[in-house]
Amino acid sequence: MTEPEELTRMHQTLNYHYPRTYLNAWAQGVRTDWAEFLDRLFLAEVPAHLGDGDGDGVVLDMGAGPSICNIIAASRWSSRIYLAELLEGNRKEITKYLNSEEDAWNWQPYFDFQGILELTPDTGSIEKRVKKSVAGVIECNLATEEVFPEGALNEEVDVLICSLVFDVVCTDPSNLEVVMTRALTCLKQDGLMVVQGSLGEERYCVGSAVFPVLNIDQKTLLEVFENLSLEVIKWETTVRLSTHYFTVLKRK
């Protein structure tokens, strides 16, 4: 069993090597099933549970990595979005993009696909909306009791996105309960937690680096949700090279 603290240290050793290696490995193409899921979510389930919000609802993408892909659809509903990430190198990569620096990652394929979902060819306006919606890029660490440095996040959030995060910070169900409990501390009582994870996975690679991941089946995962008094209000699975689940949770 690999503890969250050890997994965190493993990722920190790749701090400044990680961002571009990760993006080259995993962000070259749009994960269309996840993008479509998020778009439907912020058009339907989120307004149904939390109201239209008029842009005032707060969204947090926890463990964002060096990526902005999880918040593109979220910006349709919220103009107050935080991206939280452990590694400084990843936070700097996001900031480079937000500042339109010359060597920033090209997210245009993601905006092109979002344009298809929104039935608009004006992807430039989508990109402007996304950049304008970002309220902050902040540090987080799920391996510690206090997830955020003091003063980094001064409000609870309405929607908490955790995409392929819990899988890489713990490797067993008991520690999954611990890190999910920590994540939930920043979510409003009636808020929604949106999770993407993998089922039956053992490892993942970033370049030549190999990391252990949470190897869990659906039955055990749902037991964890039950132990945390979380209700599943939406569940989908998708199979590519591995099986991923997309779910929306709320407190009972």
Q: How far apart are CA 209 and CA 7, in angstroms?
A: 13
Q: Where are the alpha helices (DSSP H) in the chain?
A: 4-12, 18-26, 32-40, 46-50, 88-98, 108-117, 123-133, 166-169, 173-184, 218-227
Residues 218 and 245: beta-carbon distance below 8 Å: yes
DSSP class of residue 181 equals: H
pLDDT in tens, the chain (252 residues): 456 666 566 556 555 556 788 788 778 899 999 999 999 999 999 999 999 877 799 999 999 999 999 999 999 999 999 999 999 999 999 999 999 999 999 999 999 999 999 999 999 999 999 999 999 999 999 999 999 999 999 999 999 999 999 998 888 999 999 999 999 999 999 999 999 999 998 776 666 567 778 899 999 999 999 999 999 999 999 997 789 999 999 999
H or E segment at 56? strand 55-62
DSSP class of residue 68 equals: -
pTM of the model: 0.92
